[in-house]
Amino acid sequence: MNTVVLLTLTGLGLAALYFLVASGLSLVFGLADVLNFAHGLFLGVGAYATWWAAGNLPGAGSDGLGFVVAVLFGVLAGSLVAVLVELVLIRPLYSRTIEQVLVTVGLSLAGVALLQATWGADPRPFPRPDWSRDVTSVLGAQVPNAGLLLIVAAVVVLGALLAFLRWTRYGLIIRAGVENREMVTALGIDVRKAFTLVFAIGGAAAALAGALGGVYFGTVSPGQGGSLLIFAFIVVVIGGMGSVVGSAYAAVAVGLLQQFVNYYGTSGLGDLCVVGLLAVVLLLRPQGLAGKVAHA
Amino acid sequence: MAVEPILSVEDLSVRIAGLHILQGVSFEVAPTGVTVLLGRNGVGKSTTLRAIVGLTPRNGEARGTVRMGAQSLLARPTHRLVRGGLGYVPEDRCVFAGLTVAENLRLAERRGTTPAYDKVFALFPELDRRGRQRAGSLSGGQQQMLAIGRVLLNDNRLLLVDEPTKGLAPKVVTEVAEVLERVAESVPVLLVEQNLAVVRRLASDAVVLSAGRVAWTGDARELLLETALTKSLLGVGSAEVHS
Amino acid sequence: MTEVKSAEVPAPPATVPDELTPGHARWHGLRPYLPLVALVVAAVLPYSTLNLPGVFEGPLNSPGTLQLLAICLVFGGLAAGYDLLFGRTGMLSFGHALYFAAGVYGTDVLITKAGLPLWQAALLTVVGGTTLAALLGAVALRTVGIAFAMVTLAFAQVGAILVARDFGGLTGGEEGLPLDVSGLPAGLVGVTNTVNLYWLALAYLAIVVLVVHRVSGSPTGRVLAGLRDDERRIGVLGLDPYRFKLVAFTLAGGLATAGGVVYVLIVGGASPHITSSELTLSLLVMVVLGGPGTRWGPVLGGVLYMYLDHRLTAFGSSDAVNNLPAFLSHPLSQPLFVLGTVFILAVYFFPGGLASLRTRLTPLLTTLRPRR
Ligand SMILES: Nc1ncnc2c1ncn2[C@@H]1O[C@H](COP(=O)(O)OP(=O)(O)OP(=O)(O)O)[C@@H](O)[C@H]1O
Ligand SMILES: [Mg+2]
């Protein structure tokens, strides 16, 4: 029983990480048709900016309020980089889907190399509050606090995103744009502003994943974003592109599946099951669990 | 035309995926009443409207001149054109199925102007009652009302309406025609319509496309009187209109 | 596409008498044979002891240089095979590394763990890799566009996981699996025989180019080009896009597997980094840099990319770079930073890649050439 609780909660922690990365990817893809390989870079920027801020930014630190400031700084940095990428590199290529993918591919290669050039390829210890190293007893299972933090953060982000999409004018535009971008412009709305906005949101969520992932893993390294990104892609496809709720369901499914199978089967088998799940979902429902029909 | 046209299309050519769909189309839209754009299926009527409003697909290209008043339209982004008073009701309605009726309407609101909800709800009381219903669950006729209604929330200088009666039951067709008739009293309309009864009721002028070009322009009633002409251009006899 | 045709069609007879434009006409007459000439030059290259300081570390026929060249050639072939998907059919696969890795690990495991002789291992591997491509392609091609890209990416990730987790102790996990050379033909083993591996790589490249060229010139190739330009039109013709795409996918997978077989012999072992999605991304970069859908573009792109990847590492640690201020020297010491940046610039400013250089330069050259 303890093991099941522990596995469930660590699986949810993983799911939270996937969700933070995937929600932005999904919105960016759903609205703007951009398959963003540079999304892992936003995560890396968030992690390193947090790490840097904790050591160098006045007022920021690795504990208490200072830690919150450091994370905020990281999130802001990730969001800023995402907006810059959208404005400078992606926007001039709008509607040229393949070229956009290529540019984000180049960016992911160059960006990770740049992180590596600046801070080295080796993992660096991540500043984290003392309480995040402790465990909390939940139903008899000793669950790491860092994992719980991730879950809480993801739930908050999910709630905030849904509220934003539901109650604000831009949320309305984004929901409509995911369905039919052309008709949004035909109502006199400049949909490209919404593109920039989803990049900013996606960048912020990914950067948060980077910062909290750093707390969870205890280290930060340039390649961290890349491996997470592949599973985030899988989550996006399973969840249906453009659907935040779909991403949340899919992230939970993938995180739990991975954790349980890796524990009860051999290590690595869970990852394979996830890909199997992807294949099954695609064959049965090419549009994903909750999304619009994926198109070319 | 004696009076200045609201829209003039000159030598409009559209290529999509290497196919030359429109090959030098020229016509004008009168500043009042309904001008109807006719032609057989697949001749390029929708393509014409989409080119005017700047929605030629990415693998295509539109050339020529399109003017609304003194303003040249081609190469300007769609949202600017629409804000400039060009209302577009697309083929197949294209309402946002996942949004509620009220949200569909709210999307059309613009900063700095008061949306004319009174006018729209007077025309379509149904939309007021069904505000919280998802647009995807509306009937075809109701969706068409919504598609027209959200365009009428703002002031327009010209409306482009693409086959508003497509796939609707005869009774609903009459309702839609009635609404358009009332709308056309205040705004000029460029209408694509296959239903010749509706054309007869609404249209003052007609433009007929055939094989990528304009084959006929003139008074709409004149066109409908000439059975042989409508048959050769549209593939229907105007006898069908009376049945 | 026009690029390919112009290379194929025999040059039109010169209308100008030979003595007036001597070099020009002869050039045109030679053009169909240029690939052959290039092949011969490449084949006799190992006999040269030419030293190109700065370009290569040792003389041309030194084992180090030959090995680097062989790797470049293999990647030229790989890129050409990948272009069959991307440039000629318009399929964006992010999982091509899988089939290459299947070639590398398949051969390595069959020789080192199962003790098979090389020819059997190679044959089994190529057949296996092609079958794998056919099976996975059959599933992945149920989707199109971006979803297809993601599915192929996910499948390739399975390969990476299988290799990294070292199931059954077959792959050596993170350490990789050195090739057991004791059972290999003597001519392929040892530093002195690097030249044979070089020739093997050259043969592989030549075969890939030939196959891709043949396929794209065939009726099937025209259907593939049609799919790339507008899939619906092919559907309208009553042809089944799925089957044609599957043929291209399988063929490209088989060619990549064969490339893996050659590669494992050249580098003498397998290491897990070749299974990474980064390798597929590099293939994409090679093809785009070279010029998608052209005969020589992807080959050039592949060769140049691998060369730069190796040489930039040396360049990055050279004095010239080290003496720069840190904010320049650090990024420049990362080959991927340089290549990624070049790639982005190429997407913006050089959509046709290297292969479009000639057409772009022609007007310039004609204006520069003195009038006769
Ligand atoms: N995106 C596209 N890609 C390829 N061909 C297209 C595209 N859009 C339109 N076409 C082609 O252009 C031609 C004209 O299409 P269009 O929709 O304008 O016809 P239409 O006159 O509106 O027909 P209908 O009366 O059936 O609505 C058709 O042959 C159609 O196949
Ligand atoms: Mg139409």
CATH class of C59-368: mainly alpha
Question: Which residue of A162, A173, A185 is the best one to mutate when testing the B interface, meaning the one whose CB has the most B CBs within 10 A?
Answer: A185
Predicted confidence (pLDDT) per residue in A247-293, tens digit: 999 999 999 999 999 899 887 788 889 988 888 887 777 666 655 43
B53-79 in b/e burial notation, b at 16+ Cβ within 10 A? Answer: bbbbeeebebebebbbbeeebbeeebb
What pLDDT, on a 0 to 100 scale, did the predictor assign at position C249?
96
Cα A236 from chain centroid (whole Å): 10
* Residue of minimum CA distance from atom 22 in ligand 1: B46
Which chain B residues are closer than 8 Å to A186 by Cβ?
53, 55, 78-79, 82, 88, 90, 94
Q: Both tokens of residue B24? A: 């030098």
Residue of A nearest to C333 (CA): A117
Buried b (16+ CB within 10 A) or exposed e, C302-322: bbbbbbbbbbbeebbeeeebe
Q: Looking at residue C167, what is its pLDDT? A: 78
Q: What sign does the CA torsion over C21, C24, C27, C29 have?
A: negative
- For each of chain C's 372 residues, which pLDDT tens digit applies? 333 333 333 333 333 344 444 455 565 666 777 778 888 888 777 777 777 777 777 777 788 888 999 999 999 999 999 999 998 888 989 999 999 999 999 999 999 988 899 999 999 999 999 999 999 999 888 887 777 888 898 889 888 888 888 877 888 888 889 888 888 888 788 778 888 999 999 999 999 999 999 998 898 888 888 888 777 777 777 788 889 999 999 999 999 999 999 999 999 989 998 988 888 888 988 998 898 888 889 999 999 999 988 887 777 777 777 777 777 777 777 888 888 898 898 888 887 777 777 676 766 666 666 554
C-alpha pair distances (Å), C10 with each of A94, B79, C29: 41, 52, 8
* Model pLDDT, residue B240: 47
Note the Cα A192 to chain centre separation in Å.
Answer: 22
What is residue A189's DSSP assignment?
-
Q: Per-residue pLDDT averaged across B57-80, rounded?
A: 89
b/e per residue C340-353 (b: at least 16 CB within 10 A): bbbbbebbeebebb
Backbone angles phi, psi at B216, to 5 degrees: -160, 135
Q: Domain A2-284 belongs to what topology?
A: ABC transporter involved in vitamin B12 uptake, BtuC (1.10.3470)
Question: Per-residue pLDDT tens for A284-296?
Answer: 776 666 554 333 2
pLDDT surpasses 60 at A206: yes
- Residues B132-173 have pLDDT tens digits of 999 999 999 999 999 999 999 999 999 999 999 998 999 999
CB A29 within 8 A of CB A36: yes
Task: Report the distance separating Cα A45 and Cα A78, nearest Å.
Answer: 6
d(CA C94, CA B32): 56
- DSSP string of B36-95? EEE-STTSSHHHHHHHHTT---TTEEEEEEEEETTEE-TTS-HHHHHHTTEEEE-TT---
The pLDDT score that the predictor gives to residue C161 is 85
Q: Inspect the interface and report whether the beta carbons of C340 and A111 lie closer than 8 Å.
A: yes
pLDDT at C25: 57
Cα–Cα distance, A139 to A159 (Å, whole number)? 26
Q: Is the ipTM of this complex over 0.90?
A: no
Chain A CB contacts of B110 under 8 Å are: 188
pLDDT at C352: 76
Q: Residue A83: beta bridge partners? A: none
CB C143 within 8 A of CB A279: no
Residue nearest ligand 1's atom 18 by CA: B44
pLDDT in the model for residue B106: 94
Q: What is the pLDDT of residue A240?
A: 84
C-alpha C66/C-alpha C308 separation (Å) is: 15
Interacting residues of B195 by C-beta distance below 8 A, sequence separation 6+: B165, B173
Residues of C with Cβ-Cβ distance to A106 under 8 angstroms:
285, 340-341, 343-344, 347
CA of B47 to the centre of ligand 1 (A): 6
User: For chain C, what are the domain ranges?
Assistant: 59-368
Say which CATH architecture domain B7-93+160-241 belongs to. Answer: 3-Layer(aba) Sandwich (3.40)
The whole-angstrom distance between B25's CA and the closest CA on chain A is 23
Chains in contact with A, counting 3 or more C-beta pairs less than 8 Å apart as contact? B, C
The mean of the pLDDT values for chain A is 89
State the SS3 of B102-120.
HHHHHHCCCCCCCCCHHHH
Q: Note the pLDDT tens digit of each residue in C211-250.
A: 999 998 898 888 888 888 777 777 777 788 889 999 999 9
**Rg over CA atoms, chain B:** 17
Give CA–CA dist C138/C246, Å, rounded. Answer: 7
Out of A115-119, B234-238, C201-205, least confident range: B234-238
Residue B238 confidence (pLDDT) above 60: no
Which residue CA neighbors atom 23 of ligand 1 most closely? Answer: B42
d(CA C310, CA C330): 17
**C24 within 8 A of C32, measured Cβ to Cβ:** no
Section B221-229 average pLDDT: 78
Domain ranges of chain A: 2-284
Q: Can you tell me the distance from the alpha carbon of C228 to that of C238, in angstroms, rounded to the nearest whole number?
A: 16
What is the rounded CA–CA span in Å between residue A21 and residue A124?
Answer: 21
Q: What is the mean pLDDT of residues B91-102?
A: 92
CA A199 from chain centre, in angstroms, equals 12
Give domain limits for chain B. 7-93+160-241
In chain C, which residue ranges form alpha helices assigned H by DSSP?
Answer: 2-8, 22-30, 34-44, 63-89, 97-112, 118-140, 145-165, 194-217, 219-229, 231-236, 241-267, 277-290, 297-316, 319-322, 326-332, 335-349, 357-368
